[in-house]
Amino acid sequence: MTRDLPTHLSRADRPAQLLVAEDDQRLLASLADLLRGAGHTVTAALGGPAACEALDNQDFDLALLDLHMPEIDGYEVMAHAQDIQPHCGVIVISGESTFTSVSRALRRGALDYVKKPFAPDELLETVRNVLGQRSLIRDHAKVQHRLKKSEALHRYLVNSSPDIVFVLDKAGRICFINNKVNSLLGYTPTDLIGEHFGRLLDEQDITRGTYALQDASVSADNPRTLEVRMKTRGSRRANRHFEVTAFPIDPDTWPHTNDPEERAIGQRARIYGTARDVTERKEAEAFINFQAYHDLLTRLPNRALFKDRLNLAITQARRNSQKLAVMFLDLDRFKVINDTLGHAMGDRLLQAVTRRLEECLRRGDTLSRFGGDEFTLLLPAIHGKEDARQIANKLIRALQPPFQLGDHEVFVGISIGIAVFPDAGDSLDQLIQNADIAMYHVKGKGKGDYRFYSDTMSIDTANRLSLERDLRLALDRDELRVHYQPQVCANTNRIVGLEALVRWQHPERGLLYPPDFLPLAEETKLIDDLSERVLAKACHQVGQWIHDGHDDLRLAVNLSPIQVEHPRFVHTLMEQLRTYQFPPHNLEIEITENVIMNDLEQISQKLRELADYGVRIAIDDFGTGYSSLNYLHRLPIHTLKVDQSFIRGIRNSEDGACIVNAIVAMAHGLKLEIVAEGVETDAQLCYLRQLGCHQVQGFFYGPAQPAEFIRRSLGRDRLAQNVTAV
Ligand SMILES: Nc1nc2c(ncn2[C@@H]2O[C@@H]3COP(=O)(O)O[C@H]4[C@@H](O)[C@H](n5cnc6c(=O)[nH]c(N)nc65)O[C@@H]4COP(=O)(O)O[C@H]3[C@H]2O)c(=O)[nH]1
């Protein structure tokens, strides 16, 4: 069995271990003495068997063997020594000096040969030479061993490095690349050796990447660090991101090597580099970035990104003297759908709405989710209002078809406020705020429409805030008043109905009218409270007059779209009537066409319920909203209120009068009652009378007045013309 080399390698600086084998007892003793005298440690073996035994048990640096020994001769011992201790050198000593025996011994591995009789000095000299030679061989083996270990270690380190390690030549071709390129990009190193580094780069990074890694641009003072995308083999996986660091190589310092291939690399090598895979970090950064600037549900830009883009667009529009439009979009009825069908459905609806809206836009437009069911839209570089108007119409139309949410078919409309730069504001905040104000004016008027911002809509922000605070207080302090405008039968001049119109007795600003505070009440959701108070006061007041004998007196109340859309609208209204013991058939609710058209299904069901209780339904501002006359005979409608603008038309133009003719004729055909609003002149009254429109309301008979005033008027049997007293 061969003994291990390492023990042998560790024999530095100790006396050499010698084995002397000789079958002549005397000669053996004198040889041993001679060698010991020279400082060696000697084991004397008398004959071949003893020598083999010694070799089995002990390590030797050198064996001096007599060739001719009985039983086991020197050749056999030498063979055994080579078997078991190949590092142990052998010198043969023999009386034979023929060429054959010398060459045989040397061929079998003997390092030298000493002929008997020998001179002691000659023997010691030979031993010294052989030991010196052995020591050199040992040292060399040691160095080789260390080199091998170190090479293996470095190869292991390079190949198991988490980074791609590469060496490029002057022209940017790959001279070396480690195995990591396989697990990260799918190439084997042999695929790439000799290829230009640019082959690995993503098309978008080739110019930048190759420029940065050009031989001349990388120096010891200027190592390169850059981020590039690299292609994966085939197109199965997405390209990955790497942080590349490159250093120059001085070919003179390339390690000396006997391997011609490695030497050739050393001569060509100019750049050494590592490429660290930073894909995950990049993806995380991209996600965080996306999250910071987008709404995750709809994947639209969020408020921050919208503002950023708007800022840029304003700068550009200012520089090029162009216009731009900001739209504030608010979904109608979203809250009701969300509350009724749940948030998951609400989310799906928002996503579906987003898709439809996006289909209406150009590439440069920015649609963003501003929060909840609010969106903002930036239309940069428009020619004028007409462009914005077209888009607004397109958006409204896009949302008209129903949305299918699971088993539910839902309708959702949109109210749009538009602010055009620079007329409606020349700063980001102004434009957004004014578009918002314009949007609330749409909401106040029945939704599902668009409006451009105009200065008359604006109540400056501070003013708005204080007004909002005051409005909350007004509810607590009972500052709301209800005035009543008579609805008069033009034939008899008798009051047949009273329209309740809210007023606000503001402690400092005096008497405020609905346009001054109703949009704000809608915006701040105070409208529910406000309407409840108005209805309560009106039911209480008019209820008393009814009980006092005006049995047929009709109370007309305006309802805000928000109220009507509330799922418990019918229940709440009927509760109130019961509380004030107000007869339902004396109540007429006024709603606009837009409210109906926004959600025909839902609203018609509610109106039918109310009609079943006896409540009357009037369409306010008839003719000014969506005119899908279809709904008229499908819904339990009792009264059409002809809008004031048409009544004014009687005086101004024939067209206006024509519309009134048509409305009145249609109402007669459908057996609906008709009330003309805004009658101010005798001429208008005469015209309406002649048409057969007998119920009128307007300044001709007087504006809305406080209850006390109306009570006195009711007291008279017939109302004198023009009750605009006091
Ligand atoms: N130029 C002119 N105007 C006339 C004439 N006759 C009446 N008016 C005015 O026209 C409006 C008629 O009410 P509306 O169309 O329902 O329009 C109402 C209604 O939509 C809303 N509103 C009023 N009170 C309430 C309320 O209690 N609740 C709700 N939700 N809305 C209300 O505010 C709107 C405005 O109300 P008001 O400012 O009181 O204005 C009233 C009334 O004062 C006339 O001969 N000439």
Query: What is the tens place of the pLDDT at every residue in 497-507?
Result: 999 999 999 99
Average pLDDT over residues 429-437: 93
| Closest C-alpha to ligand 1, atom 23 | 501
DSSP string, 580-635: TT--GGGEEEEEEHHHHHHTHHHHHHHHHHHHHHT-EEEEEEETSS---THHHHHS
What integer pLDDT is reported at residue 458 of this predicted model?
A: 64
Task: Give yes or no for a contact between 387 and 307, defined as CB atoms under 8 angstroms apart.
Answer: no
Token pair for 618? 């009037």
- Residue 721 belongs to a domain: no
Q: How confident is the model at residue 653 (pLDDT cuts 50, 70, 90)?
A: low
Indicate whether 662 and 524 sit together in one domain: yes
Q: How confident is the model at residue 444 (pLDDT cuts 50, 70, 90)?
A: low
| Closest C-alpha to ligand 1, atom 21 | 514
Measured between alpha carbons, how far is 366 from 301 in angstroms, rounded to an integer?
A: 8
From the CA of 703, how far away is ligand 1's center (Å)? 10
Between 61-70, 342-351, 560-569, the lowest mean confidence (pLDDT) is in: 560-569
Which of the two residues, 299 and 341, has the higher pLDDT score?
A: 299
Burial class of 299 by CB neighbour count within 10 A (0 to 12, 13 to 18, 19+): exposed
From the CA of 672, how far away is ligand 1's center (Å)? 22
Q: In what helix (H) or strand (E) does residue 158 lie, and over which residues does it extend?
A: helix 120-159
With a cut of 70, say whether residue 576 has pLDDT above it. yes
Indicate whether 656 and 507 sit together in one domain: yes
Listed as own residue / partner, the contacts of 336-344 with beta carbons closer than 8 Å and 24 or more positions apart are: 336/565, 336/566, 336/567, 336/602, 337/410, 337/412, 338/373, 339/567, 340/567, 341/405, 341/408, 341/410
Interacting residues of 27 by C-beta distance below 8 A, sequence separation 6+: 116
Give me the helix-helix angle, 385-398 and 343-359, nearest 10°.
Answer: 140
- For residue 64, which amino acid is it? L
From the CA of 649, how far away is ligand 1's center (Å)? 19
Q: How confident is the model at residue 544 (pLDDT cuts 50, 70, 90)?
A: very high
Q: How confident is the model at residue 8 (pLDDT cuts 50, 70, 90)?
A: very low
What integer pLDDT is reported at residue 359 of this predicted model?
A: 95
| Closest C-alpha to ligand 1, atom 10 | 678
Please identify, among 284, 311, 337, the residue that sits at the C-terminal boundary of a domain.
284
With a cut of 70, say whether residue 461 has pLDDT above it. no
Indicate whether 474 and 582 sit together in one domain: yes
Indicate whether 116 and 171 sit together in one domain: no
Percentage of the chain surpassing pLDDT 70?
92
With a cut of 60, say whether residue 7 has pLDDT above it. no
Indicate whether 483 and 406 sit together in one domain: no
- Residue 153 belongs to a domain: no
Token pair for 381? 């570089």
Please identify, among 427, 458, 489, the residue that sits at the C-terminal boundary of a domain.
458
The CATH number covering residue 645 comes to: 3.20.20.450
What integer pLDDT is reported at residue 720 of this predicted model?
A: 45
Task: Give yes or no for a contact between 227 and 242, defined as CB atoms under 8 angstroms apart.
Answer: yes
DSSP state of 421: E
DSSP state of 231: P
Interacting residues of 298 by C-beta distance below 8 A, sequence separation 6+: 350, 351, 354, 369
From the CA of 560, give the closest atom in ligand 1.
30
What integer pLDDT is reported at residue 336 of this predicted model?
A: 77
From the CA of 152, how far away is ligand 1's center (Å)? 94
Instruction: Output the CA–CA distances (angstroms, integers) from residue 713 to 349, 483, 537, in the order listed.
Output: 53, 13, 19
Burial class of 220 by CB neighbour count within 10 A (0 to 12, 13 to 18, 19+): exposed
Indicate whether 502 and 650 sit together in one domain: yes
Measured between alpha carbons, how far is 667 from 673 in angstroms, rounded to an integer?
A: 7
Token pair for 435? 């578009």
Indicate whether 373 and 402 sit together in one domain: yes
| Closest C-alpha to ligand 1, atom 34 | 514
With a cut of 80, say whether residue 399 has pLDDT above it. yes
Indicate whether 114 and 235 sit together in one domain: no
The CATH number covering residue 227 comes to: 3.30.450.20
What backbone torsions phi and psi does residue 186 show, to the nearest 5 degrees?
90, 0
With a cut of 80, say whether residue 722 has pLDDT above it. no
Closest C-alpha to 200, from 223, 224, 181: 181
From the CA of 726, how far away is ligand 1's center (Å)? 21
Between 11-20, 66-75, 193-202, 362-371, the lowest mean confidence (pLDDT) is in: 11-20
Domain that includes residue 233, residue range: 161-284
Measured between alpha carbons, how far is 259 from 235 in angstroms, rounded to an integer?
A: 37
Question: End-to-end distance of the chain based on CA atoms, in angstroms?
Answer: 134
Beta strand ranges found along 249-307 (DSSP E) = 269-277
Indicate whether 308 and 363 sit together in one domain: yes
Helix (H, G, I), strand (E, B) or coil at 437: helix
Indicate whether 432 and 521 sit together in one domain: no
| Closest C-alpha to ligand 1, atom 9 | 678
Percentage of the chain surpassing pLDDT 90?
53
Indicate whether 562 and 631 sit together in one domain: yes
What integer pLDDT is reported at residue 724 of this predicted model?
A: 39
From the CA of 678, how far away is ligand 1's center (Å)? 10
Tell me what the pLDDT averaged over the chain comes to: 87
Token pair for 76? 């056999």
What integer pLDDT is reported at residue 235 of this predicted model?
A: 60
Indicate whether 172 and 195 sit together in one domain: yes
Instruction: Using the CB atoms, write b or e for 583-609: b if 16+ within 10 Å.
Output: ebebbbbbbbbbbbbbbeebbeebbeb
User: How distant is the alpha carbon of residue 476 from its chain centre?
Assistant: 45
Average pLDDT over residues 533-549: 94
Q: Which of 485, 499, 558, 680 should be mutated for ligand 1, with most atoms under 8 A from CB?
A: 558
Q: How confident is the model at residue 554 (pLDDT cuts 50, 70, 90)?
A: very high
By DSSP bridging, strand 413-421 and strand 510-512 are unpaired
From the CA of 501, give the closest atom in ligand 1.
24
Which residue bears the tokens 């451009």?
A: 452
Who lines ligand 1 at CB under 6 A? Answer: 485, 500-502, 513-515, 518, 531, 534, 558-560, 590, 620-621, 644, 678-680, 698-699, 703-704
- Residue 154 belongs to a domain: no
Nearest 10 degrees: Cα torsion 133, 137, 139, 145: 180
Number of domains in the chain: 4
What integer pLDDT is reported at residue 101 of this predicted model?
A: 78
| Closest C-alpha to ligand 1, atom 36 | 514
Q: How confident is the model at residue 139 (pLDDT cuts 50, 70, 90)?
A: confident
- Residue 150 belongs to a domain: no
From the CA of 535, give the closest atom in ligand 1.
27
Average pLDDT over residues 286-295: 90
What integer pLDDT is reported at residue 10 of this predicted model?
A: 42
From the CA of 299, how far away is ligand 1's center (Å)? 43
From the CA of 501, how far away is ligand 1's center (Å)? 6
With a cut of 70, say whether residue 215 has pLDDT above it. no
Q: In what helix (H) or strand (E) does residue 55 lie, and over which residues does it extend?
A: helix 48-57
Measured between alpha carbons, how far is 353 from 344 in angstroms, rounded to an integer?
A: 14
With a cut of 70, say whether residue 627 has pLDDT above it. no
From the CA of 560, how far away is ligand 1's center (Å)? 12
Structure ipTM = 0.95
DSSP state of 294: B
The CATH number covering residue 98 comes to: 3.40.50.2300
From the CA of 482, give the closest atom in ligand 1.
27
With a cut of 90, say whether residue 274 has pLDDT above it. yes
Average pLDDT over residues 620-632: 71
From the CA of 558, how far away is ligand 1's center (Å)? 9
Helix (H, G, I), strand (E, B) or coil at 116: coil
Q: How confident is the model at residue 524 (pLDDT cuts 50, 70, 90)?
A: confident
From the CA of 641, give the closest atom in ligand 1.
15
- Residue 617 belongs to a domain: yes
Please identify, among 458, 475, 498, the residue that sits at the C-terminal boundary of a domain.
458
Average pLDDT over residues 250-257: 72
What integer pLDDT is reported at residue 9 of this predicted model?
A: 41
- Residue 289 belongs to a domain: no
From the CA of 527, give the closest atom in ligand 1.
30
From the CA of 113, how far away is ligand 1's center (Å)? 134
Closest C-alpha to 610, from 646, 658, 576: 576
Measured between alpha carbons, how far is 215 from 630 in angstroms, rounded to an integer?
A: 80
By DSSP bridging, strand 323-332 and strand 413-421 are antiparallel
Which residue bears the tokens 């928000």?
A: 562
Q: Which of 501, 560, 679, 685 should be mutated for ligand 1, with most atoms under 8 A from CB?
A: 501
- Residue 313 belongs to a domain: yes
| Closest C-alpha to ligand 1, atom 16 | 558
Measured between alpha carbons, how far is 524 from 520 in angstroms, rounded to an integer?
A: 6
- Residue 149 belongs to a domain: no
From the CA of 368, how far away is ligand 1's center (Å)? 36
pLDDT digits (tens, 9 = 90+) for 221-249: 778 889 999 998 876 667 899 999 988 88
